Amino acid sequence: MRRPIHVAVIGAGIVGASIARVLSMFEDFEVDLLEREVDIGWGVSKANTGIIHAGYDDEPELYPLRAKLCVEGNKLWHKWTEELDIPIRWCGSLVLAFNNEEMKILKELYNRGVRNKVKELKIIGAEEIKTLEPNVSREAEAALWAPTAGQISPWDAVIALVENCVMNGVRLRLSTEVRGIKIEGGCVRGLETNRGFIEADFIINSSGLYADKIAEMAGLGGYRIKPRRGEYLIFDREAEPKVSRILFPTPTPISKGVVVTTTVDGNLMIGPSAQDLAEDQREERANTREGLDYVWESASKLVEKLPPKSRVIRFFAGLRPEPTGGDFIIRKYDEVFGLIDAAGMRSPGLTSAPAIAHMILNILKSTLDADFKPKKCWNPYRRRIRRFSELTPEERSKLVKEEPRYGRIICIDKMVTEMEIIEAIRRGATTIDGVKFRTRACMGICQGSSCTHKIALIISRELKIPLWKVSIRGPGTEIGIGDVKSLFRRRKT
């Protein structure tokens, strides 16, 4: 038997995690998934709109990869969300037109969608719009209705993918930052990291905002990634009115526009803005007055009514990795054998991720001129953490009798129990944010002010680390400064 092909995938975002999952289906690969953060999915994949787009947005002539992979990805998500128990609402989207100019754009989008082979697209009039979405602005004259669009929580998707690929043999290496690429005789040999050298026959560069920097480490690339900031506002779960469809304006040349949608957790969300930042602002996730005002004004035009501003519980910003040329960059290099880019993953990167992963597999197949052997024991399934809040009263009583830690509510807003937090830690959470993204604790009205300390105590106990060392999101964000009483003790002795 030939030795396994060692593949190092850089970046545990939605793209890297999807690639690792697809490679884990075959006997031929030994896969390392490398992530510089202490947890998975904390890059671009953490802060975005979470829409599984239908696929009419992208011009096939200008952006062939975006156009093709979005539609293919949308189809694959139907299967993947079922296998991986990822909550999704296949609620459909409406692009709204308010005047003749915008009607023309709707028709262009429709024709583009047909060329991209998007199913069930339809242009509808004001009456039908109201039936589909009662809270839509009365001034909307027509809409492009795309029933195949869906709403997902992007971090749920990354967590599910990584849990599944680890179950299938992928080695996840957290807190591992790639700092160099070793090339010998025109072939990739491995990666220099803060944790030592990692051998690799192939390196998949799916490092989000830093993909150009990684390609440069091999003396390759020739493209730049620029951050484009998108800001959002999110309302508390009880805030009304909500929308049951995803509402878009007609798009601009740089963005699909500010969306009004309801998250899978039932919160109304509006955003994103689109502001180009300088290349060195790849960590600039601060919110701005202008950005938030723009989001509010734009969203107000799409609906009859937004909930009052006092019902906003959080704002946040995400950064799109905008590549030179605008299309996804998925390719191998002639100059160096073994480096493959999965870069420039701006929108619709989340939608396209499963299809991107299959495209990477095909590049490997054609490079090695080989057919890979499916693993007999590959397990496509993974179940998410059982949510106490979603159970019936009878199911809750039964569960508490079996495991009393389900009877202790830690996050009152989201009704998250101690046992769910323990389960999140068992599955890899080591920080407050790690618990938050796995359980929804801290995502309610109080945004963690009543439960953060309780979660910290559980993390400290379960991971056997001092309480003050528990962090929000890794080194530098610890909740304490150390054992302050030691100063007092020292003075006494």
SS3 455: helix
Distance from C-alpha of 2 to C-alpha of 117, rounded to nearest angstrom: 41
Compare residues 79 and 461 and give the one whose CB is closer to ligand FAD. 79
Distance from C-alpha of 477 to C-alpha of 467, rounded to nearest angstrom: 13
Structure tokens at 164: 């599944």
Distance from C-alpha of 331 to C-alpha of 461, rounded to nearest angstrom: 46
Compare residues 112 and 414 and give the one whose CB is closer to ligand FAD. 112
Distance from C-alpha of 445 to C-alpha of 460, rounded to nearest angstrom: 25
The DSSP-derived string for 313-344 is EEEEEEEEEEETTSS-EEEE-SSSBTEEEEE-
Q: What is the 3-class SS of 30-76, one letter each residue?
A: EEEEECCCCCCCCCHHHCCCCEECCCCCCCCCCCHHHHHHHHHHHHH
Amino acid, res. 381: Y
Contact positions vs ligand FAD (CB under 6 A): 10-16, 34-37, 42-45, 48-51, 53, 177-178, 206-210, 230, 272, 318-320, 345-351
> Is 53 a catalytic site residue?
yes
Measured from the Cβ of residue 460, the count of other Cβ atoms closer than 10 Å reads 16
Measured from each CB, the residue nearest to ligand FAD is 349
Q: Specify the pairing of strand 259-262 against strand 329-332.
A: unpaired
Compare residues 338 and 344 and give the one whose CB is closer to ligand FAD. 344
SS3 233: strand
The DSSP-derived string for 111-142 is HHHHHTT-TT-EEEEHHHHHHH-TTB-TT--E
Distance from C-alpha of 157 to C-alpha of 381, rounded to nearest angstrom: 13
Q: Specify the pairing of strand 187-193 against strand 202-205.
A: unpaired
Structure tokens at 72: 């293919």
SS3 161: helix
426 exposure class (CB count in 10 Å sphere: 0-12, 13-18, 19+): exposed
Maximum pairwise Cα distance, the chain = 83
SS3 205: strand
Compare residues 159 and 350 and give the one whose CB is closer to ligand FAD. 350
| H or E stretch covering 192 | strand 187-193
Residues 6 or more apart in contact with residue 493 via CB below 8 angstroms: none
Q: Which of 6, 53, 78, 453 is catalytic?
A: 53
Q: What positions carry a catalytic annotation?
A: 53
